[in-house]
Amino acid sequence: MLNLERVERIREHGGWLERYTHASVSCRCTMTFSIYLPPQAEHGPVPAVYWLSGLTCSDDNFRVKAGAQRYAAELGLALVIPDTSPRGAEVPDDPGYDLGQAAGFYVEATQAPWSTHYHMHDYVSRELIELIEANFPVVAGVRAISGHSMGGHGALVLALRNPGLYRAASAFAPICHPLACPWGVKAFSAYLGEDRSSWRAWDATCLIEDGATPLPLLIDQGSGDEFLAEQLHPEALQAACAARSIPLELRMQPDYDHSYHFIGSFIGEHLDWLAGYLQR
């Protein structure tokens, strides 16, 4: 693809961890992503799991800290790991860690100054998929999605907004109801404006309440998570699913916190569960 440049290639678990930059049409800036291609990809296309990271992260955190590549190599899965926002000197930012660069919230910003670049929904759910499926040995159309915290919100929202795009979605400590938490209110006020009715289309709990097509969902949440009470609200999503009799596997994991040590403890189970939906 035009402008797709490989900037890193690292041998790992018998496969290759690669990093690319490219000119993004969605975000109007240079975007970076990483992809792990398991050993099986040398013999033919493999299914892909997209991973969305949380606040303050780039494409680097997950690939370094989660230990996911071992499981991907065992299961024959590609891992596609985008950045968490548009980046660069020309991209608006905010001094807070929870708005602007590294905090794109996977929405389509409608408000200045964010609306020029902050189109992470379109980037992840359309542009990146097209780029990956045109340029790498992945099975076109066979995808799942997962993520952590802000990226858990992103995984749930992208899957619920785009029926059929992903066969299953999982999340670690996701922001389940951004309308009702400080992180979500701050970000959505900036990116989407003060008309809160427009926010519902970017909130997993509201999407369920408003009739979104369900898909297989798995959520792990640590009971020792320091952000659980104020920011995450899995009980709201659980209630919305229950009201529509939608199955939701929400597992409370005793004592686990919000860190990558928590993700690493269960990423193998998530990838194994997602892989079950990625048989051709």
Q: How many CA atoms lie within 13 A of 189 on its CB side?
A: 9
Shortest distance in whole angstroms from residue 62 CB to a second copy: 12
Q: Identify the active-site residue in 117, 121, 153, 258.
A: 258
User: Which one among 265, 269, 273, 277 touches a second copy, defined by CB under 8 A?
Assistant: 265
- 258 carries an active-site annotation: yes
To the query of whether residue 225 is one of the catalytic residues in this protein, the response is: yes
Which residues within the stretch 241-260 sit at the binding site for a second copy (CB under 8 A)? 253-257, 259-260
* Minimum gap (Å) between residue 177 Cβ and a second copy: 25
Catalytic residue status for 22? no
What is the pattern of x (binds a second copy, CB under 8 A) and - over residues 212-241?
----------x-x-----------------
Q: How many residues bind a second copy (CB under 8 A)?
A: 25
30's tokens: 């240079």
Are 149 and 98 within 8 A, CB to CB?
A: no
List helix spans (H) across the chain: 60-65, 68-75, 120-122, 128-135, 150-161, 182-192, 204-209, 234-243, 260-275
Q: How does DSSP classify residue 45? A: -
Residue 123 interacts with a second copy (CB under 8 A)? no
C-alpha to C-alpha distances, 108 to 23, 228, 267, nearest whole angstrom: 18, 26, 28
Going edge to edge, which strands form the sheet with 15-24?
Answer: 5-12, 15-24, 29-37, 78-82, 46-52, 138-148, 169-172, 217-222, 249-253
Which of 11/280 has CB closer to a second copy? 11
Considering only the stretches 8-16, 75-83, 105-113, 118-126, report the one whose residues sit in contact with a second copy under the rule CB under 8 A: 8-16
Which of 264, 269, 273, 277 binds a second copy (CB under 8 A)? It is 264
Please, which residue, 39 or 45, has the CB nearer to a second copy? 39
Q: Map the footprint of a second copy across residues 34-93, applying CB under 8 A.
A: 64-65, 67, 69-70
How many whole angstroms separate alpha carbon 18 and alpha carbon 247?
36
Which residues, at least 6 apart from 24, have a Cβ–Cβ distance to it below 8 Å? 30, 31, 86, 123, 127
Residues designated catalytic: 149, 225, 258
Residues that bind a second copy (CB under 8 A): 10-14, 17, 64-65, 67, 69-70, 222, 224, 253-257, 259-262, 264-265, 268
